């Protein structure tokens, strides 16, 4: 018996947000040394792009792995509306005690979406902080 083919579906979304990379346990000098301009006390912003990657088998009734409208609605509800035009450090509870680096942001996004998707679907998130700087989770 052959295994059902698996297909990957991608959805791109975006949000704009400000943040400051800062470790309150360090001195101002060490924060500036490690984080540079990203440690600006008045914050700085990015036009973030997220690529949501969902992999699974095709439902024979719909022809979908996942309805892209459903995926977009989920991304809007769980990520974009909560992060867009926000100061991640001050306005987003997940970052109250978590430095909002791209690495931490992508894991927070992954966890929010993973909790809402069926376990039969694999999920991967790619987050672009800039055109040249991006992260992906999980790493494999």
pLDDT tens, 26-80? 999 999 999 999 999 999 999 999 999 999 999 999 999 999 999 999 999 999 9
pLDDT of the residue at 25? 96
pLDDT higher than 90, residue 91: yes
This prediction's pTM: 0.95
Q: Is 129 a catalytic residue?
A: yes
pLDDT of the residue at 64? 97
pLDDT higher than 70, residue 1: no
How sure is the predictor about 105, in pLDDT bands with cuts at 50, 70 and 90? very high
Distance from C-alpha of 1 to C-alpha of 91, rounded to nearest angstrom? 52
pLDDT of the residue at 95? 98
Q: Is 80 a catalytic residue?
A: no
Output the average pLDDT for the chain: 96
How sure is the predictor about 3, in pLDDT bands with cuts at 50, 70 and 90? confident
pLDDT of the residue at 33? 97
Q: Which of 13, 19, 22, 129 is catalytic?
A: 129
pLDDT higher than 70, residue 119: yes
Q: Which of 38, 49, 78, 136 is catalytic?
A: 38
pLDDT higher than 90, residue 140: no
Q: Which of 61, 85, 94, 136 is catalytic?
A: 85
């Amino acid at each position: 018996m052959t295994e059902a083919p698996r297909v990957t579906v991608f959805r791109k979304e975006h949000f704009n947000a400000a943040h400051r990379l800062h470790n309150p346990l360090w001195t101002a000098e060490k924060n500036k040394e490690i984080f540079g301009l990203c440690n600006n006390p008045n914050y700085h912003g990015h036009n973030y792009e997220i690529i949501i990657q969902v992999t699974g088998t095709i439902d024979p009734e719909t022809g979908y792995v996942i309805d892209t409208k459903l995926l977009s609605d989920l991304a809007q509800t769980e990520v974009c509306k909560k992060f867009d035009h926000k100061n991640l450090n001050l306005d987003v509870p997940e970052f109250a005690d978590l430095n909002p680096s791209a690495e931490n942001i992508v894991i927070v996004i992954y966890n929010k979406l993973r909790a809402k998707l069926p376990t039969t679907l694999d999920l991967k998130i790619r987050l672009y902080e800039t055109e040249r700087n991006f992260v992906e989770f999980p790493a494999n």
